Amino acid sequence: MGIAPGAVLDSPARAAYLTTMKLTVNGREREVTPDPVESLADTLRARLHLGGTKVACGRGECGSCTVLLDGRAVYACLTITRACEGAAVTTIEGLAPPGELHPVQRAFIEQDAVQCGYCTPGQVMAAVALLAAEPAPDEPAIRRAMSGNLCRCGTYPRIAAAIRSVAGRGGGTGA
Ligand code: FES
Ligand code: FES
């Protein structure tokens, strides 16, 4: 069953789509009932109360909503929750056990790579994905991989320094 683009959903059609689905978030299977085109960012924040995933632009331009989907960095504001069934979602809350820090989080603190902090969860998630794919990236690779994550405070040099400080030391894996 498909819905024509732009179609207004009448109640029976809408109800047919509002089935409960399973979503694995931070290693835990959750049941959610998202709207058909609900974004993963909205599901995480509004339904699962995982507010660490930030939304700024809401249209795939800033990277503040970056999460891992099967280990790959994605913009949660552009990801449809219903397309994530069976995939593993990792948010900033799931990078390390409660009360502990992931090596990349620690590196951001040590390198003072945070000003207002709004972009930081997305920056950390993008860095973790980069280090998982490329454990010892050089400067151009860091700039390329992080180019989809904007920081209005301009903390880019310190963010790069934080990534360099954990490069080659397992920064792309869990704590
Ligand atoms: S909030 Fe998703 S890319 Fe800006
Ligand atoms: S630290 Fe403020 S937007 Fe990046």
- Specify the pTM: 0.89
Residue nearest to atom 3 of ligand 1 (CA): 60
pLDDT (tens digit per residue) in 2-36:
444 444 445 566 666 688 999 999 999 999 999 99
pLDDT (tens digit per residue) in 39-93:
999 999 999 999 999 999 999 999 999 999 999 999 999 999 999 999 999 999 9
pLDDT of residue 106: 97
pLDDT of residue 13: 63
Which residue's entry shows tokens 């909205």?
42
CATH domain 16-94 topology = Ubiquitin-like (UB roll) (3.10.20)
In the chain, domain spans: 16-94, 103-166
Mutation choice for ligand 1 from 77, 80, 119, CB with most ligand atoms inside 8 A: 77
Q: For the domain bounded by 103-166, which CATH number is listed?
A: 1.10.150.120
Question: Would you say 125 and 73 are in contact if contact means Cβ atoms under 8 Å apart?
Answer: yes
Mutation choice for ligand 1 from 75, 123, 147, CB with most ligand atoms inside 8 A: 75
**Is 57 a pocket residue for ligand 1 (Cβ < 6 Å)?**
yes
